Structure 1
Amino acid sequence: MIVNELIPEPQAMRDAFCDKLIALAENDPDLVVLDADLMGAMGTKPFLKRFPNRAIDCGIQEANMVSVAAGLSLTGKVPFVHTFAPFMSRRATDQVFISGAYQGANVKLIGSDPGITAQTNGGTHMPFEDMGIMRSIPTMTVIEPTDATMLNSVMDWMAGTYGMQYMRLVRKPCTKVYETGTQFTVGKASTLVSEPGAEVTIIASGWCVVESLKAVELLHHEGIVVRVLDMFTWKPLDERAVIDAAYDTGAIVTAENHSITTGLAAAVSEVVVRHEPVPMEFVGVHDRFGQVGKADYLAEQYGLAAADIVAAAKRAVARKPA
């Protein structure tokens, strides 16, 4: 269930993450946490204090950290492993693939500061390709929680489900979209807006979920009725929700804080082209590197704001056959 009004979360996502880790660890003595010299940045020092023998700082050697986690998992441990998203994906891909997925390990990978939320850390720390890299690895589940409520539900699933999983996570406070206590099913899209006579479906993830909800109001003023799906699981993708959206509304816009080349645009297109071809427009990063700036400024620079989603929706509707 979504909130009646979009409001800032009362705590940062990293704090919600740490609180949940501690709660899970209280009930599972095998849960361990690994980090690459970022426990302070990720807010997991309370976990270190509570469970000093179950928290491992591997230093700035992300690839080795993933292999250590994979080895621990094969002894029965349940490792939650964190570093910044570009280093979990670009830097550690071979270890994620070989030590993790290929070996059938049980590792929960968390990549923080995704896309434009890296802000002033700049282009070297601003991943627009992490979800695409992870989506390409066999057996990997790929998730991007929207707010702390979803994070809480998703982490329950991660801790209780064997396998390789990647979650990209904002560290700072997010906008609260869902009522506290709402539960989610990994692999199933969350329907945020569904009105009779919708002419286009916006399929969004992460940062772009809130921007899509803002776009709905702007589109209403122009007489365009919209469906909005929160596609927080990129793999396995909810193909049924995509096919139904294409069939019911006849046009689709994807919106993501990620490269469209390997991201949500690509994943949704793979389904649409096989099952229900309709006009599509993509809101996301187009073949560009990251840069320094505040998130709102970067959203405008990369075309990820509500106004960009509105423009894309209008283009998609205009392309529908008469």
Structure 2
Amino acid sequence: MTNTSYRALALQTATHSVTGLSVTDARAAIETAIARIGAQIRASRAWIGPDLRLVVLPEYALTGFPLGEPIPAWRDKAALPPGGPEYEALGAIAQEQGIHLVVNAYESDPHFPDLYFQACVVLGPTGEEVLRARRLYSMYSPTPYDVWSRYLDAYGRDSVLPVARTPLGNLACLSSEEILYPELSRSLALRGAEVLCQPTSEASSPRLTPKAIARRARAIENLAYLVSANSGGLTGIAIPADSTSGGSELIDFEGRVLAQAGPGESLVAAAELDLAALRRHRARPGMGNLLSRAKPALWAGEYGRLEGERPDELGDAVPDRSWFGRRQRATLDRLREAGVIS
């Protein structure tokens, strides 16, 4: 049975980078992070109450990001195998607490053994994985689009834009800067998504940042709740720890901020999500029903005539970090030739 009203938490927890660690030490650090996050989830649910049913963790909360490390090295030390022991441990936390838990992590893949992808995974209250959304927009990491033909052969098109039908509503996920691409959120909304979960690790500020502005826009455009969890600090690398600390927030389907956390580790970003109210709003005729007024066929043709990043650009190669910069410069050249930029 659907829970038409429940509480969600964007858990703002600290991230400890495994950059520079050995494989053995990195794996031990991941295990320690899972245990620490599990304790924070238990304490948060005890504080907030038993109607806490959805918890979203920050982006790459178990490992941090690969600061200059080669693709193979990061795959070996920081990429989780789908269905592996780390996910089993996280699933056990979800089961113990009776929650849906949204985790963002780097993953290995048996179909692409030389690469890794970044993924959002939703673990249900029985501990099972109910959604896996591989990140499609990433500046310095491989994505399914880079190996598009082989990825679709392995997983099919529906795997690329997944929406999970759950008792908490229809859940979908975006990783970090994917919030800046309106076509992605709109595509998920047109597949039925009602709650957009955004694990992120981003520069925070007392003033509105580009991603904060985008969150409000995506919620309004798609008449969707948005739960965004930012890091509560990032340690283990030279970047100042509180550069990515604070601003986790929950936004309703009219763009209103329901709760927002300050800097540091925090459970403050928690609020009630009312699915019945959202569904009434989505069914209400009028100018404000932006989702019903979308014109997908128009924009499919317009997007189709342009060329930005190309699918399958990676081919069978294992890229070094410089490949991503070269790819972007080639894309900029094509945009200049097309008159998109001067």
Give the shorter-chain TM-score range.
0.3 to 0.5
Q: TM-score, normalised by structure 1?
A: 0.33
Q: TM-score, normalised by structure 2?
A: 0.32
Q: Which has the higher contact order (CA 8 A, sep 6+)?
A: 2
Higher helix share: 1
